[in-house]
């Protein structure tokens, strides 16, 4: 396993484990998945993964409970990251929610506590007052944000008066926005960009095509899985396969290696099986050549999916079958 080159209380592995899938019906993994989830966590620990990401909103607390239980006594050795869902993120609410999350996780301190998304009305000044108090009493180690633009990330730091260690954002080969400013800032300031949906929810695995789309509500609502976009993505998947063959790897592993090339980026793929977890952890060891990286970037740029408003009628048709 490789780690972020930063001075943090505990080392942060370049591949972490995302656990939105745990206890969340919307992924459609069925009742057996809960046992598999515990096996996935245990295997991740064996493989040197030290970052485990959850949130109070995932399965309405179930993800935190499953993760905490599966980590058991190893909780203290790793970086347990959770998130407050900012419905009314004023200081006392943030504090009370952190206590509830810590109890579900079975920890006395949440190593990384993140604001799940920026609140359009409540300013970070009040949210960060709550975070600072949590740090002062030791219930929270590092503070993070999620889905913040650069301006608001820096504002949150000013409000906290300390580093906001990480910003968790959507970052994959087909969502490269963070390369513009968040990643350069992280490198320059000694911060971390945590890449969520790093496999574009499995789109980049090459496992799905127009005739075989994934099931489950999460991905039925994701425009990348519209038949048209799966067709448009075929060339990108071919490019991933080509590089994967040269490394005796899979397209998913190459898609992760592409992100991990940036020193201050970590990726937190979710996994539906232990085998996927193993492959994802192994991706941290893959070094792409400059030529491979450039070819992948070019293939990614050529992928032009139908998204936004233009995708809405197609998504509705796909859901209703009309
Ligand atoms: N902060 C936020 O707002 C936010 C938003 C979204 C997610 N997140 C976090 O980020 C984590 C990851 O994002 P995500 O789950 O949306 O997307 P993702 O990690 O890109 O995709 C996960 C899915 O990809 C497939 N997969 C994983 N490893 C694979 C492999 N080695 N080979 C082939 N397929 C593989 C699995 O689905 P199948 O096997 O079913 O195809 C898995 O459920 C979440 O668990 C959550 O912790 C945060």
pLDDT (average), residues 277-301: 98
| Interval 158-189: pLDDT, tens | 999 999 999 999 999 999 999 999 999 999 99
**Whole-angstrom distance, CA of residue 259 vs CA of residue 265:** 7
Say which range, 41-45, 176-180, 191-195, 303-307, has the weakest mean pLDDT.
303-307
* Predicted confidence (pLDDT) at residue 307 exceeds the cutoff of 90: no
Distance of CA 65 to the CA centre of its chain: 18
Per the annotation, the verdict on 58 as an active-site residue is yes
Residue 80 contacts residue 111 (beta carbons within 8 Å): yes
CA of residue 198 to ligand 1 center, whole Å: 7
Torsion angles phi and psi, residue 273, rounded to 5: -150, 165
pLDDT at 315: 78
Read off the tokens for 135: 């740090």
**Whole-angstrom distance, CA of residue 194 vs CA of residue 9:** 17
At residue 308 the predicted structure's pLDDT band, cuts being 50, 70 and 90, is confident
Q: How high is the mean pLDDT of the chain?
A: 95
**Whole-angstrom distance, CA of residue 145 vs CA of residue 290:** 31
* Predicted confidence (pLDDT) at residue 318 exceeds the cutoff of 90: no
| Interval 56-81: pLDDT, tens | 999 999 999 999 999 999 999 999 99
**Whole-angstrom distance, CA of residue 52 vs CA of residue 265:** 15
Q: Where are the alpha helices (DSSP H) in the chain?
A: 33-46, 62-71, 91-105, 124-136, 150-160, 182-189, 217-220, 227-232, 234-246, 251-260, 274-283, 290-302, 312-320
| Interval 219-269: pLDDT, tens | 999 999 999 999 999 999 999 999 999 999 999 999 999 999 999 999 999
CA of residue 203 to ligand 1 center, whole Å: 10
* Predicted confidence (pLDDT) at residue 274 exceeds the cutoff of 70: yes
Which atom of ligand 1 lies closest to the CA of 200? 20
Nearest CA to 79 out of 110, 119, 51, 59 is that of 51
| Interval 111-126: pLDDT, tens | 999 999 999 999 999 9
Among the listed residues 33, 58, 113, 196, the single catalytic one is 58
Residue nearest to atom 45 of ligand 1 (CA): 18
CA of residue 140 to ligand 1 center, whole Å: 26
Q: Specify the residue for token string 């209703």.
A: 320
Mutate which of 30, 199, 233 for ligand 1? The one with the most ligand atoms within 8 Å of its CB, which is 199
pLDDT (average), residues 134-143: 98
* Predicted confidence (pLDDT) at residue 110 exceeds the cutoff of 70: yes
CA of residue 104 to ligand 1 center, whole Å: 22
Q: Is the pTM of this model over 0.85?
A: yes
**Cα torsion angle, 25, 29, 31, 32, sign:** negative
**Domain 16-203+255-287 - what CATH class?**
alpha beta
pLDDT at 275: 98
Nearest CA to 84 out of 94, 76, 96 is that of 94
pLDDT at 10: 97
């Amino acid at each position: 396993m490789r780690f972020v080159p930063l001075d943090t209380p505990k080392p942060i592995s370049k591949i972490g484990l995302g656990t939105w899938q745990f206890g969340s019906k919307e992924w459609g993994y069925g009742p057996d998945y809960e046992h598999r989830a515990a096996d996935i966590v245990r295997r991740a620990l064996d493989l040197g993964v030290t970052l485990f990401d959850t949130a109070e909103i995932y399965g309405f607390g179930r993800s935190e409970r499953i993760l905490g239980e599966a980590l058991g006594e190893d909780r203290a050795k790793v970086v347990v990251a959770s998130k407050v869902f900012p419905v009314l993120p004023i200081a006392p609410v943030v504090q009370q929610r952190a206590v509830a999350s810590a109890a579900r996780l079975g920890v006395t301190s949440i190593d990384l506590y993140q604001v799940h998304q920026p609140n359009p009305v409540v300013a970070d000044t009040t949210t960060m007052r709550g975070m600072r108090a949590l740090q002062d009493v030791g219930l929270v180690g590092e503070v993070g944000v999620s889905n913040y633009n650069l301006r608001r990330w820096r504002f949150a730091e000013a409000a906290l008066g300390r580093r906001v260690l990480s910003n968790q954002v959507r970052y994959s080969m087909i969502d490269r926005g963070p390369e513009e400013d968040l990643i350069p800032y992280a490198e320059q300031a000694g911060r971390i960009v945590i890449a969520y949906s790093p496999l574009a929810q499995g789109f980049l695995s090459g496992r799905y095509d127009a005739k075989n789309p994934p099931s489950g509500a999460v991905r039925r609502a994701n425009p990348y899985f519209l038949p048209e976009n799966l067709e448009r993505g075929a060339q990108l998947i071919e490019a991933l396969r080509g590089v994967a063959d040269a490394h005796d790897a899979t397209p998913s592993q190459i898609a992760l290696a592409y992100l991990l090339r940036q020193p201050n980026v970590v990726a937190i793929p979710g996994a539906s099986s232990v085998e996927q977890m193993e492959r994802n952890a192994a991706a941290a060891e893959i070094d792409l050549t400059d030529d491979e990286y450039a070819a992948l970037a070019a293939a990614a740029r050529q992928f032009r999916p139908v998204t936004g408003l233009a995708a809405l009628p197609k998504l509705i048709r796909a859901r209703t079958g009309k």
